[in-house]
Structure 1
Amino acid sequence: MDPQVFVRLSIGSLGIRIPVVTSNPVREGVRISTSPCVCEIRLRGFPVRTAVVPFISSSPQDSPDPHHIATTFYLQDSDVKAMLAPGCFHPSHASLEVSVFVGKQGFQYCGVGGKKQQQVGTFRLEVGPEWSGGKPVLLHHGWIGIGKTKQDGGKPGPELHLRVMLDPDPRYVFQFEDDTKSSPQIVQLQGTMKMKQPIFSCKFSSERRMSSHQLDPMNNYWSSMKEGIDQESERKARKGWKVMIHDLSGAAVAAAFIATPFVPSSGCDRVARSNPGAWLIVRPDICGTDSWQPWGKLEAWRERGVKDSVSFRFHLVPEGQEAGGSILVSELLISADKGGEFFIDTDRQTPSGTPLPSPQSSGDFAAVAPVVAGFVMNCRVQGEGKSSKPVVQLAMRHVTCEQDAAIFLALAAAVDLSIQACRPFPSKAKRGIRNVV
């Protein structure tokens, strides 16, 4: 498998310090409160990011956190080339901009601030050829002045501390060639021309139980499905869905199946947080044939608000442990109408610092060094009722073999199908009206 070129631009270790003028600290200097500043981080072609900038005193013992990452941008090779090429609307190269602001609850600098947000200063770093060099580059690390005082003779004003680092982050990119329910082929997109290389196939089924003559190693898991559901819930429940991922030889290398049915909660027409549907993501047991081991659990439910969305919660399940010993690695919302992105990325959300072993590892989480995993995977899916064809990106460092990729593709299939499984159920009142008409 050949990866595509990506780079990871991280901005962190933020801090700001303000020189205090002793002659008249209220009028000419700085009044400091306990609230920090905020900054807006801009890079052409990406949404604006915001982050808190803590105040750092002049004491040698007070310094910014060297390990904290405020935000991360992931750039394809084509993104960097576009930033380096001037155009009609952008006559010069793009720049990374970090603009620091104070607001009503922040500190006041030289009489500025208090009633509304005011800008303290801006750090700019122009995009250069080194951004596409494919090597780690420390673009900036340390303090830099971002403004001048207005009433102290032009002496240096506020200083911003930040660390800007560029790291290569190669990824494997896969695409489902059709809707997940259509049992599509899965291809790998390679090179700048996005050449398609078949690599897996996806088999979807909606049977609640396998026939007794079928030798399916997953049968043991089906027995754990909830029993005793009343006839109405049985008719309305979305259950029995299963996705098998096969390699080119036809061998099953990963799977996902509904372990908790998607049913409407009592008194409403939707899958609610109090009773989410759940998928079990499994992989072949490395210690034996025709047996499977749980790798992760994906829960999903419908959130109702101004715009409906589907909530996801994904846990890793260490080998030999029950659900209570699982590790939360992703929790996010996806628009039910427009779709969106499911991701595992400790730079973009909490919990951070979660170790992530290879899916083919022994599963002994205690033996894994507690390092930040960073970007692991993402998949883009469409909203309910739309043709999805998920696109999945996987960090190369988390894929040691094809089976590792397959388990993430099974997870992506479960995410895609959850959008459909969380659609509102028809209510009895609406059915009655239709029957009368």
Structure 2
Amino acid sequence: MDPQAFIRLSIDSLGLRFNGGGLNTEKYAIHRLSLPCVGEIRLRGFPVQTTLVPLISSPEVIPDTQSNASSFYLEESDLKALLAPGCFYNPHACLEIAVFTGRKESHCGVGIKRQQIGIFRMQVGPEWGEGKPVILFNGWIGIGKNKQEIGKRGAELHVRVKLDPDPRYVFQFEDVTTLSPQIVQLRGSIKQPIFSCKFDKDRVSHVDPLSNYWSGSSESSDLETERRERKGWKVKIHDLSGSAVAAAFITTPFVPSTGCDWVAKSNPGAWLIIRPDACRPDSWQPWGKLKAWRERGLRDSICFQFRLFSEAQEGGEHLMPEIHINAEKGGEFYIDEEKQLKSVASTASPIPSPQSSGDFGALSPIIGGFVMSCRVQGEGKRSKPLVQLAMRHVTCVEDAAMFMALAAAVDLSIEACRPFRRKMKRGFRHSV
């Protein structure tokens, strides 16, 4: 499998101090004591990211270089767009960090006015596209009105901006999951078949070697049962030789919770992701568990919680934070530990298994960061999941297959969490 080139742009080691006069004489001191400093990190073509900027009271203190404030992942097309000439008023793309006092919110009905302290700007240059590790900036720099006046009182921002190559494998299901599609690897305009996906709904063959892991009738469920519960769904991922290398199946049925017609958080549906046991032929072992439910609101969302079973970690498992996907429009399920777990302390890196490990260094400052993303469509739409995997977390084809099974479970959960009394459109019947 050949990866695609991706670049990780990381912004870390943020800190704010005031040059000269001390904190108490600075005009922003009252704001510093009562409200946090907030940084808005902007890069053309990407959503704005927000982070807290700690105040540094002592001139000798250097902010923590291990604290990641923000990351952007750039593929080749993103770099081309950033390096292309812009409009007359904005000819060059820039990375911007705007620092404010306060936040865009209100307290007790009274609006809190933000005040901009200053902006750090860095122009996108040719070195961004070289694919090499490079530190673009590391140190203190003046921001605000007095940034050009050496020795004058003014705000200074500490920041480190770094580029690292972060290649990924990109896969796509060629059709909706329920139609048992082929899964191809994408590299430019080239599509290379890697896996096939076999979907079954409550149909178990007595000769199926995986039948010990799931229960179900050999007869398909009728419409009346489908209106009350969704169970027995399963997906097997096969390699090019036809061998099953990963699977996902419903362990807890998707059923309406008491007093409503949808799957609620109090009683979520659940999938088990399994993989071949490297020590015992024709045996399987759990790899992860995915829970899903529906949350009602102005715009309904499908919520996911993934738990990784890891023999390499103490405790044997790792729980990921919740991810919400728009039920109508779809969205992205991802495993990105810097994005999800900024507030959680890091632990020691797990020992990687030499073959089909499936352990992606949960909470590891060395192996952490982006692991996987899966983009799916909303309910009732022809979703063809698009999956990206960080190359450093894939040691063999079997590792990639487990993420494909997880992606299939995410996609099928969108339909499994549909309200049970919703009428289907005339002339349309989903294959599940």
Same fold (TM over 0.5): yes
Question: Which one-letter code corresponds to 1:36 in the other structure?
Answer: P
Query: 2:145 corresponds to which residue?
Result: 148
8 A Cα contact 1:330 1:344, kept in partner = no
User: Quick one: distance in 2 between partners of 1:399 and 1:363?
Assistant: 8
The 8 Å contact of residues 337 and 363 in structure 2, kept in 1 or not, is answered as: no
- Asked if the contact 1:4/1:170 (under 8 Å) is kept, the reply is yes
- The equivalent of 2:268 in structure 1 is 276
Structure 1 residue 92 corresponds to structure 2 residue 91: yes
Report the CA distance shift for 1:395/1:233 in structure 2 as closer, same or farther (over 3 A): same
What's the offset of the Cα at 1:236?
1.5
Tell me the CA shift for residue 360 of structure 1: 4.2
Query: Residues 241-290 of structure 1: CA distance to partner in whole angstroms, max 9, x if unpaired?
Result: 01010111111111111111111111110111111100000111101221
Return closer, same or farther for 1:89/1:182 CA change in 2, 3 Å cut-off.
farther
Report matched runs for 1:236-315 at 5 Å: 236-315=228-307
In structure 1, which of residues 342, 360, 384 is the aligned counterpart of residue 333 of structure 2? Answer: 342
SS in 2 for 1:18: strand
Is 1:56 paired with 2:56?
Answer: yes
Equivalent residue of 1:33, what SS? helix
1:330 deviates by 4.3
- Deviation (angstroms), 1:326: 2.4
Q: Distance in 2 between matches of 1:276 and 1:92?
A: 50
Structure 1 residue 33 corresponds to structure 2 residue 30:
no
Could you tell me which amino acid in structure 1 is paired with residue 213 of structure 2? Y
Per the alignment, in what secondary structure is the counterpart of residue 404 of structure 2?
helix
SS in 1 for 2:137: strand
**What's the counterpart of residue 431 of structure 1?**
none
In the other structure, the counterpart of 2:3 is 3
Is 1:19–2:11 an aligned residue pair? no
Measured after TM superposition, the shift of residue 376 of structure 1 is: 0.3
The answer to whether the 8 A contact 2:36-2:102 is kept is no
Please, which moves more after superposition, 89-98 or 403-412? 89-98
**Counterpart in 1 of 2:395?**
400
Cα 1:136–1:184, aligned 2, differ >3 Å: closer, same or farther? same
Conservation of the 8 A alpha-carbon contact between 2:20 and 2:152: no
Aligned 1:383-394 pairs, distance under 5 A: 383-394=378-389
CA distance in 1: counterparts of 2:16 and 2:22, whole angstroms: 19
Q: Displacement, 1:58?
A: 1.8
Offset from partner CA, 1:30-64 (integer Å, 9 cap, x none): 3340532001111000011111101011253x431
Q: Contact between 1:179 and 1:387, CA under 8 Å: does it hold in 2?
A: yes
* Residue identity in the other structure for 2:141: I
- After superposition, the Cα gap between the structure-2 partners of 1:103 and 1:248, relative to the gap in structure 1 and judged at 3 Å, is same
Number of equivalences: 407
Correspondent of 2:377 among 377, 382, 403: 382
SS at 1:338 equivalent: coil
- Decide which of 134, 145, 149 is 1:137's aligned counterpart: 134
Q: Would the aligned equivalents of 1:293 and 1:319 in 2 still touch at CA under 8 Å?
A: no
Measure how far apart 1:211 and its partner are.
Answer: 3.7
Residue type of the alignment partner of 2:384: K
CA distance in structure 1 between the partners assigned to 2:23 and 2:156 by the alignment:
20
8 Å contact kept, 1:3–1:173: yes
Q: Tell me the alpha carbon deviations over residues 126-145 of structure 1, each in whole angstroms, 9 at most, x when there is no partner.
A: 11111111110101111110
Amino acid aligned to 2:100: F
SS at match of 2:40: strand
Q: Distance in 1 between matches of 2:357 and 2:286?
A: 12
Classify the secondary structure of the residue corresponding to 1:275. Answer: coil
Verify the 8 A CA contact 1:20 1:30 in the aligned structure 2: no
The structure 1 residue matched to 2:159, chosen from 155, 158, 162, is: 162
Structure 2 residue runs of 5 or longer lacking an equivalent are 105-110, 218-222, 424-432
* Structure-2 change in CA distance of 1:237 and 1:403 (3 Å): same
CA contact (8 A) 2:227 2:421 kept: no
Distance 2:327 2:391 in 1: 30
- Provide the C-alpha distance between the structure 2 equivalents of 1:300 and 1:42, rounded to a whole number of angstroms: 33
Distance in 2 of aligned mates of 1:23 and 1:205: 66
Q: Residue deviations 1:192-218, cap 9 Å, x none?
A: xx311111110000025x243x1x232
**Deviation of the 1:306 alpha carbon:** 1.6
Assess if the C-alpha contact under 8 Å between 2:20 and 2:154 holds in 1.
Answer: no
d(CA) in 2 for partners of 1:383, 1:335: 7
Q: 2:118 aligns with which of 118, 121, 126?
A: 121
Report the residue type matching 1:10 in the other structure: S
Give the letter for the 1:382 counterpart: Q
Distance 2:389 2:260 in 1: 37
- The Cα of 1:329 is off from its aligned counterpart by 2.8
Pick from 185, 190, 211: which aligns with 2:187? Answer: 190
Aligned to 2:317: 326
Secondary structure of the structure 1 residue equivalent to 2:12: strand
Letter in 1 for 2:120: F
1:43: which partner in 2?
43
